[in-house]
Amino acid sequence: MSDTAEILEQAARWREAGKGVALATVVNTWGSSPRPLGSKLAVDSDGAFVGSVSGGCVEGSVVTEALETIRDGKPRLLDFGVTNEQAWEVGLACGGKIEIFVERVE
């Protein structure tokens, strides 16, 4: 089974179990970014997550936004890069830039 399929299967299981679920997907990259387009993170309403959208640099921040999306249902488009103001906390060490789309699984 592919990486993506495993993440989606987990999202489906969480939904089945009655949990809120959000998916975060890399939709754009610039420069040297660690993960290709389509790389995914599934997050449940308890903050558990599977998959990855970077080399581990921004996952924490993405999970926080995903929990917001589970709560309010609004999709979010997140930008991460070394130019980010919070570079020390959630920047990409590789010097690349990524855009991540976060959506609730309805």
Partner 1 sequence: MKGRFLDAVLAAGHQHRSVALATELKGGGQLLLDGDRLEGELALDEAALGAMREALRADRNRTFDTAAGRVFVEVFSPPRRCFVVGAVHIAQPLVQILSLADYQPIVIDPRQSFATEARFPGLELSTEWPDEALERLKPDHRSAVVTLTHDPKLDDPALAVALRSECFYIGALGSKRTHAARCGRLKEMGFTDTDLARIHGPIGLSIGAVSPAEIAVSILGQMTQILRRGEKSEAA
Give the binding site for partner 1 (CB under 8 A): 1-5, 8-9, 11-12, 15, 23, 25, 27-28, 36-38, 75, 77, 99, 101, 103, 105-106
Closest CB 58 distance from partner 1, rounded Å? 18
Measured from the CB atom, the residue of 25 and 57 that comes closer to partner 1 is 25
By the 8 A CB rule, do 51 and 59 touch? no
Which residue, 58 or 105, is less far from partner 1 as judged by CB?
105
Smallest distance from partner 1 to CB 102, Å: 9
> Which residues are CB-contacts of 21 (< 8 A; sequence separation ≥ 6)?
11, 14, 15, 42, 43, 44, 45, 70, 104, 105
Sign of CA dihedral 2, 106, 27, 56: negative
Q: Which is nearer to partner 1, 1 or 88 (CB)?
A: 1
Least distance (Å) between residue 106 CB and partner 1: 5
CA distance 93 to 30: 13
